Structure 1
Amino acid sequence: MVRNPLTADERHRGLVLGRLLQQARGTRSAAAVAYEAGISLDTLRKIERGAIATPAFFTVAALAKALGLDLSELAETLVSADDLVA
């Protein structure tokens, strides 16, 4: 199966998501957040820098829970970020 290339909007949304998660992490270590979310440290780092622009829903949900973020508000913020690019 061949994966379609990401659009500019998807790459931008991935960068915004990464920044939001990094800001929400604050002074907590990436390792501690990754452990609490049940993902690898490498995966969290890739998401935070936008290298994984479209992480799986359950990965984002686990990170949101670990960081105390409301998933609906996070989604609304990402949709608003799409509006800025369009």
Structure 2
Amino acid sequence: MVRTPLTPEERERGERLGRLLREARGGRSMADVATSAGLSAETLRKIETGRAPTPAFFTVAALARTLGLSMDEIVERCALVVV
């Protein structure tokens, strides 16, 4: 299966998600947050750095729960900006 390339806007949304997660993680270690969310630290690192700009819904939901974020907040802060 060939995956279609991401648009620049989709990449930017992934970068915004990564920044939001880093901010919400605060002083907690990446390993601690990843373990609490049921993910590997490598997966979290890729999401936070934008290398995995389109994580699965359940991955985002697990991180939101672990970091005390609402899905609404994530959508509002990471939505595509239409110009």
The alignment's TM-score, normalised by the length of structure 2, stands at 0.96
User: What fraction of aligned residue pairs are identical, expressed as a percent?
Assistant: 60
CA-to-partner distance for each residue in 1:25-48, whole Å, 9 max, x for gaps?
Answer: 000000000000000000000000
Code of the aligned partner of 1:41: A
Code of the aligned partner of 1:69: L
Q: Which residue of 2 aligns with 1:78?
A: 78
Q: Which residue of 1 aligns with 2:61?
A: 61
Higher helix share: 1
Code of the aligned partner of 1:75: V
Distance 2:56 2:71 in 1: 13
CA RMSD of aligned residues (A): 1.0
Residue 75 of structure 1: how far off its partner (Å)? 0.7
| 1:39 and 2:36 correspond | no
Distance 1:49 1:67 in 2: 17
Residue 77 of structure 1: how far off its partner (Å)? 1.3
Q: Report the 3-state secondary structure (helix = DSSP H, G, I; strand = E; otherwise coil) of the residue aligned with 2:52.
A: coil
Distance 1:77 1:16 in 2: 7
Q: Which runs of 4+ in 1 moved over 2 A?
A: none
Residue 78 of structure 1: how far off its partner (Å)? 1.1
Distance 1:2 1:48 in 2: 24
Q: Which residue of 1 aligns with 2:25?
A: 25
5+ residue gaps, structure 1 = none
Code of the aligned partner of 1:62: A
